Amino acid sequence: MSVTTGHFHTFIPFNQVHINDAFWNPRIQANRVGTLPAIYEYFKKTGRIDAFDLGWKAGQTQRPEPHFFWDSDVAKWVEAASFSLIQNPDPALRTLVDHVVDLICSAQQPDGYVNVYFTIVRPQEKWKDLRGNHELYTAGHLIEAAVAHHQATGSKKFLDAMCRFADLIDETFGATPPKIPGYCGHEEVELALVKLYHATANERYLKLAQYFVDQRGKTPLYFDTEKASGRQTPNGVLEDYRYMQAHKPLREQAEVVGHAVRAVYIYIAMADLAADTHDSLLLAACRRLWNDVTLRKMYVTGGLGSSRNNEGFTESYDLPNLNA
């Protein structure tokens, strides 16, 4: 979370924020005793958690084939459970969290890479289809989970593991050959890297987040280069780069477009970077986008994304009730 100080804002770690409110406390309690255990059981039932043992084999029928963003589902649970542990220390929940963290860390490869699907199902496709494969998106959620786990428990095991993963990403991506001059079709890693920078004070992660923000939408568009190489899985929705906010450089954008979740992830990263680097041009872009979404494309409830067709935005003031 953050508070405004002048034109920029100062970050406050979530473990320094405590809620004691008649409206929210019962909901926080319901989340702790009901929702978090239920999600854990569902993830066990569907194989998401056990997938980190890397025991799945092609052709077997006993276990479902891991999905390419299962890791992010589990990471979101670890992050949410860590938030809960700050408000309400719960030994049983802490045991579950530490068990899942141990499993995730056990799946890390010697070079730092973590992604069950691209480790055991499609290892030949690692970093090949950035537009559609969600690898960096999934990495971002793992990093966020590690930061939250460290803040909640004081343990550095998960945080150190994700620092190794972030180091690998930094070694792999960048504008200077032989690095890959790309970025993820589904944004998320950018804001996660800023959080990792705040947790470690390692400017390497802040600079990597800057690279991903600066590179997005630059010509020649990376996704065009990737498509020409034949590495992308065909997907008509992804042909419109407005869907993933990659149609032009982020500093030049003034209209909120595309998939709502992707958009807000990158806008958060832009705001964070503007605050940390005092980048006035990035801040100006944030303000233009903020005005567009809050004045023309947001429900009175704060809801975003008025169309189920793209899970996102359409034209201004298109805010239907029934099919949002």
- Residue located via tokens 């929705």: 237
pTM above 0.85, yes or no: yes
CB 46 within 8 A of CB 64: yes
Contact (Cβ atoms closer than 8 angstroms) between residue 134 and residue 72 = yes
- For residues 209 and 282, the answer to whether their CB atoms sit within 8 Å is no
Listed residue (135, 219, 230, 125) closest to 173, CA to CA: 135
CB 165 within 8 A of CB 28: no
End-to-end CA distance of the chain: 28
The two beta strands, 8-11 and 2-5, are antiparallel
* Helices vs strands, H then E, count in the chain: 12, 2
Q: What are the residue ranges spanned by the domains of the chain? A: 2-239, 245-324
List the chain pLDDT tens, one digit each, 324 residues. Answer: 555 544 556 678 777 888 889 999 999 999 999 999 999 999 999 999 999 999 999 988 889 999 999 999 999 999 999 999 998 999 999 999 999 999 999 999 999 999 999 999 999 999 999 999 999 999 999 999 999 999 999 999 999 999 999 999 999 999 999 999 999 999 999 999 999 999 999 999 999 999 999 999 999 999 999 999 999 999 999 999 999 999 999 999 999 999 999 999 999 999 999 999 999 999 999 999 999 999 999 999 999 999 999 999 999 999 999 877
What token pair was written down for 147?
Answer: 């930061």
Q: CA separation (Å) from 78 to 129, 151, 216?
A: 27, 12, 29
